[in-house]
Amino acid sequence: MQRTLLITGASRGIGLAMVRAAAGRGDRVIACVRDPGSAADLAAAARGAAPGAIAIRAADVTDPASLAAAALAEQGAIDVVVCNAGVYRARGGIEAPGYTADAWAETMMTNVAGVFFTVRAFLPHLERAPNPKIAIISSVMASSAKAPGGSYIYRASKAAATNLARNLATDLGPRGIAVGAYHPGWVRTDMGGTGAELDAATSAAGLLARFETLDLDTTGVFEDYRGTPIPY
């Protein structure tokens, strides 16, 4: 059975890899990016996929009006909303100069509020699906069990996104929608760096497999791309 997945942050990295993998297995993918005109790799993936398999939509997760317009472009059900869009704006210890007010604001708006805005915009489409799911791409760096210091903004944002996933699971469970938070692994992307352990295709395949297991019995889960539980 063909499913419809909506994936934010679909222009590169893990998001693009998930788009390719989902379309490759026969699903329809709504690939959301801020600027479709600059998403050359995504456009190439759409051309190489089956006709209609990948629909590219302009959507800025920090802008509810942009998301509302993208939602209006869709008429049918969406089986899985994957909140993947994210930024990593500063690294280092507490005195690192990158921890500016603007960096804090941008990261929280994208990594946390962006998840909320995305879910709210596409909630009516999820409610039309028989077994709707929301997958929030978090990080093991969100876990209080892994807190070696540094990367303060990113860690805080992912902890908040995971908390948001837990609360959404509580609120949306009675409406038949399952919600999970997922660590994609340390992936060789612009964010993860060239020394990371995994390629994006391996992470994407693992994540899509985990989304398959998500249901109302497992809603609220926080685990990695292999299914290993992560303590919050």
152 is catalytic: yes
The radius of gyration of the chain's CA atoms, rounded to the nearest angstrom, is 17
Instruction: Give yes or no for a contact between 196 and 188, defined as CB atoms under 8 angstroms apart.
Output: yes
* Catalytic residue, candidates 88, 99, 152, 232: 152
- How many Cβ atoms from other residues are within 10 Å of residue 172's Cβ? 21
Instruction: Tell me the residue type at 46.
Output: A
Q: Where are the beta strands (DSSP E) in 20-70?
A: 28-33, 54-58
108 membership: H or E segment, kind and range: helix 101-108
Sign, Cα dihedral of 199, 204, 209, 211: positive
**CA-CA-CA-CA torsion for 35, 40, 46, 52, nearest 10 degrees?**
30
Which two structure tokens, joined as six digits, stand for 231? 């303590």
Q: How far apart are CA 135 and CA 8, in angstroms?
A: 11
Q: Which residues are catalytic?
A: 152
